[in-house]
Amino acid sequence: MEDRMHRISGRSQLLLVEKSAGMFSTVLCNGYGVEKQLPAATPAKDLIAATEVDYQEYRKGIKHLREEHPLFEDRIDISVADFEDFVAEALLLPSMLQKIDPVSFFVLGELLHQSLQTEDDSSASFLLNAAAELLYILEEPIRVQTCLRNVFEMTFDGMERAKQRERFEKLCRVYPDIGGLCDPAALPDVEPGHRTFAVNSIFGLRLLELALYFQQDNQWIARCDYCWGWFIPKTKKVTRYCDRVTDGYPCKQRGARFKRNLVEEQDGALKICNQLRDRMYARLLRWQDAAPSERDGLIPMDYDQYDAWSENARLARIEYLKGKLTAEEFLRRIDMTQALTSYEADKAELVEETDWQHFVAGRYSFDPEMHYPEVMQILDLRVPEPKWELHTADDLRREDQKGHQSLRERYGKS
């Protein structure tokens, strides 16, 4: 990994114990025979939970120590009293994670204890170096989560129809180092339901869970188009929205509403294709719901006819997106019932990769919290009367993510 990862000594361990087929419990062993067993979950569910831990307040605590503690003030002599005060504050920070991230709370306790055992070498820089080491240890959960989120971004986003093997191959292409460390083929050949694994870091635990995830095909990780959160679809069918309630509304409800806004911005030919699909489906429902005596005047449309149209449209759409069909040829191909009066449509330019995706693909340690400044002044010389404007970190991130955003962020304010 780009950032070195601290390890737990042989006295303490993280165990991943399979309680039943596909269900694993993380066991925290402190070296004194005392264990804490966390609730069992599938690797997919535990990985998603790990990406969602809110470290905002914890980050603020670390930032306060780094930027405001008197130990780091510019001066010749370093006060031992300041160092001891710094250590006292640093040791309190992990308690913020005890409920929201018990694995990190357990690991940090051991790592901080080990770090404080280092003997003073009597050098002038020892106290500063020791403090820097403590800060680095405290940031370990954030580094691991950052890496995991970027792995998700590169591996699962836009891969709803891909097989697990294809997802893993994409991970190996984008982040070959990570792919090599979570290869499911490297897992020991043990009968499912009776497996126990030992790891020595938070990072190692997440890599192991990724390997176990890629080894199975019962659960897939997908992204909700509305809230942009990760979830596990209940079926193998492509599912666009999760079951969360966001801003007081189910993602499925609000997502379907905002999806109409997105369609208006899409490629013109694809928009017409969607309209045709809606029309064909409406015909199917009217025909199926009508009694035989009520079908006079209705356009016949049974399930076989609708499926034939859908399959033809799917294949034509693939050829169109690959540039093998013009917009006119595409619309002629899908208009099997001569429902259209015109086949003219402008093909919109599609964004292949946003700046955001470029940053994430470049390094798996990319952290938006560190990349974007809190506030930046920008002068846009492209407008007739340019004026200096203040842009927050969120403003800058949204600008880089244009074309690759959730429906909530894209249309929620409007």
3-state secondary structure of 364: coil
Predicted confidence (pLDDT) per residue in 141-164, tens digit:
999 999 999 999 999 998 887 889
Cα pseudo-dihedral 238, 243, 249, 252, rounded to 10? 20
Q: Between 223 and 347, where is the model more confident?
A: 223
Predicted confidence (pLDDT) per residue in 227-254, tens digit:
999 999 998 887 889 999 998 889 988 8
Q: Give start and end residues of each alpha helix (H) in 290-411.
A: 303-321, 327-334, 355-362, 368-371, 393-400, 407-411
First to last CA, the chain: 41
Secondary structure E strands in 5-149? 13-20, 23-29, 35-37
**Cα 228 to chain center, whole Å?**
8
Q: Between 297 and 130, where is the model more confident?
A: 130
* Residue type present at position 283: R
Name 27's bridge partners. Answer: 15, 37
Predicted confidence (pLDDT) per residue in 20-38, tens digit:
989 999 999 987 776 899 9
Residue spans per domain, the chain: 1-223, 267-334, 355-411
Conformation bin of residue 290: beta by default, left when phi > 0, alpha when psi is -120 to 50: beta
What does the alpha-carbon distance between residue 213 and residue 198 come to, in Å, rounded to a whole number? 17
Contact (CB, 8 A) for 51 and 42: no
What does the alpha-carbon distance between residue 14 and residue 196 come to, in Å, rounded to a whole number? 10
Q: Label residue 17 by pLDDT band (50, 70, 90).
A: very high
Predicted confidence (pLDDT) per residue in 263-276, tens digit:
555 677 887 888 88
Q: Between 375 and 182, where is the model more confident?
A: 182
What is residue 260's predicted lDDT score, i.e. its pLDDT? 61
Name the average pLDDT for the chain. Answer: 86
Contact (CB, 8 A) for 310 and 277: yes
Q: Between 402 and 3, where is the model more confident?
A: 402
The percent of residues above 70 in pLDDT, for the chain, comes to: 91
Q: What is the mean pLDDT of residues 103-115?
A: 94
Q: What is the mean pLDDT of residues 366-383?
A: 85
The percent of residues above 90 in pLDDT, for the chain, comes to: 47
Q: Label residue 120 by pLDDT band (50, 70, 90).
A: confident
Please say whether the dihedral angle defined by the alpha carbons of residues 221, 364, 200 and 50, taken in this order, is positive or negative.
negative
Q: Label residue 79 by pLDDT band (50, 70, 90).
A: confident
- Tokens 């691991």 appear where? 144
What does the alpha-carbon distance between residue 213 and residue 210 come to, in Å, rounded to a whole number? 5
